[in-house]
Chains A and B, each alone.
Chain A
């Protein structure tokens, strides 16, 4: 009995010694290896806190937060979490993120969730979706002062305010900052209610925010609803082939929704598929959240540039509306705030605009117009992603 106890104590002591020697080995390679991992675990904890306590994009920030802790456990790397060829997260990353499969599958779910009715009944609203992509290209320009062009393009796409597009473009361009880009894209999407109102209030007058827009509520034929996803895919595929796969998966999801004969598939895409992919995507993207890749000065720069992209997107949308108003007669003017909804962060952005409209005038209902612009932003951001990808791939000679 006493021999068994001694044996157990001996084994236990060896294990403890093994842990300390592994820590010492890591510290010998990098003096700050352990503190960095602790910082990353704290960041993981913060993401989980924001997801649960602040309800900020919990579907993605929570898995990402947990994944961040998982990949930064000091001894877990050797135990197989991220080990090339063997680690579970490594395998999942290569199976779903590195080959862009997860973002594309998620797009089927998103397409099935979106009702394009408001924009189909008033197609001219789509122009604001295009204008609100200004932030992407402005950020590309700004980032090109610091980063190589292909990395600048990966960073600029944070302005698409669309997680799957950001991941897709960054992966295609083989960006080494994919972790930071994903965190920025999803965090700012969640922060739309915080980021947009001050920008809108700063650049619009109360009189402009009070502009009422008549909603005619035109009905849309079922044929138009069915043809829309097909036509958009064809146009995008011809004009911007690099966006064909993204827009194609988005529109495929929408066709399932609108065709009227695949209700169960539509429901599965909206709920089961989207949820399943979100779980896997969140925890897998965290593969890039290891201390070595994430704790760099560039990460702070990327987060800053992402914020710039969101702000300029917002400003681009409503400044374009203000510009159009110069040529429109009284009574036909747009409320410039709806331009800000073109940022694509659906549906938060349209809700923000609607709320600000009601704040300025309690009878000013902008929700339907803002929703129309918001879903246009979804399409426009994917097209912008495709355009950017085309430029960058040509630049890289791929």
Chain B
């Protein structure tokens, strides 16, 4: 495998090398899976990309939103309590 890769690096385009790497990985993975008995085939997919990106953005906005509301409420509580007796 390394010999093939080396030859490719020396003689061919970078895209060919990438293809060879992908090919050699896909040849190796099923063997490993069979050896370990693991049923899940690890594959790289962009199928959920848009959904994940949506969760990423709305999730962060959601967390900031909730924390922002809590900050406002706590500040108001502090202001309301500032005239009262305080304890440490």
Stretch from A121-129, A165-173, A270-278, A346-354 forming part of the interface with B: A121-129
Bound CA–CA A119/B36 (angstroms): 49
**Also in contact, A144 and B48, with CB within 8 A (given A32-B37, A383-B66):** yes
Partner of A228 from B36, B44, B48, B77 at Cβ < 8 Å? B77
User: Is A161 close to B, CB under 8 A?
Assistant: no
Partner of B59 from A126, A144, A391 at Cβ < 8 Å? A391
B interface footprint on A355-398 (CB within 8 Å = 1, 0 otherwise):
00000000000000000000010011001100110010001000
In residues 19-63 of chain B, which contact A (Cβ within 8 Å)?
32-33, 35-38, 40, 42-46, 48-49, 51-53, 55-56, 58-60, 62-63
Bound CA–CA A232/B73 (angstroms): 9
Partner of B67 from A126, A141, A223 at Cβ < 8 Å? A126
User: Is A214 close to B, CB under 8 A?
Assistant: no
Which of B48, B64, B65 has the largest count of A CB atoms less than 10 A from its CB?
A: B48
Kindly state the interface size class of chain B when it binds its partner. 35 or more
* Chain B min CB distance to A232 (Å): 6
Kindly state the interface size class of chain A when it binds its partner. 35 or more
Chain B contact residues: over half helix, strand or loop, or mixed?
A: helix
Bound CA–CA A224/B77 (angstroms): 6
Contacts of A395 in B (CB 8 A): 51
User: Is A138 close to B, CB under 8 A?
Assistant: yes
Q: Is the CB of B78 within 8 A of A297?
A: no
User: Is B9 close to A, CB under 8 A?
Assistant: no
Contacts of B55 in A (CB 8 A): 137, 140-141, 149, 153, 388, 391
Chain A contact residues: over half helix, strand or loop, or mixed?
A: helix
Closest to A116 in B: B74
Q: Is the CB of A140 within 8 A of B74?
A: no
* Chain A min CB distance to B78 (Å): 6
Which of A32, A130, A218, A383 has the largest count of B CB atoms less than 10 A from its CB?
A: A130
Closest to B57 in A: A137
Q: Is the CB of A235 within 8 A of B77?
A: no
Bound CA–CA A149/B55 (angstroms): 10
Closest to B52 in A: A144
**Also in contact, A384 and B78, with CB within 8 A (given A137-B55, A235-B73):** no
Q: Is the CB of A231 within 8 A of B73?
A: yes
User: Is B18 close to A, CB under 8 A?
Assistant: no
* Chain A min CB distance to B44 (Å): 6
Q: Is the CB of B32 within 8 A of A297?
A: yes
* Chain A min CB distance to B43 (Å): 8
User: Is A95 close to B, CB under 8 A?
Assistant: no
Contacts of A126 in B (CB 8 A): 67, 70-71, 74
Q: Is the CB of A387 within 8 A of B36?
A: no
* Chain B min CB distance to A153 (Å): 8
Offer 15 A-B interface pairs, CB within 8 angstroms, sorted by A: A126-B70, A130-B63, A136-B59, A141-B53, A145-B45, A146-B44, A149-B52, A153-B55, A221-B78, A221-B81, A224-B77, A239-B66, A383-B63, A387-B63, A391-B58
Q: Which residues on A are within 8 Å of B, measured CB to CB?
A: 30, 32, 119-121, 123-124, 126-127, 129-131, 133-134, 136-138, 140-141, 144-146, 148-149, 152-153, 218-224, 227-228, 231-232, 235-236, 239-240, 292, 295-298, 301, 376, 379-380, 383-384, 387-388, 391, 395
**Given A140-B56, A221-B81, 19 further pairs, Cβ under 8 A:** A30-B37, A120-B78, A126-B70, A127-B67, A127-B71, A133-B63, A137-B56, A137-B59, A141-B53, A148-B48, A152-B52, A219-B86, A219-B88, A235-B70, A239-B65, A383-B63, A384-B59, A387-B62, A387-B63
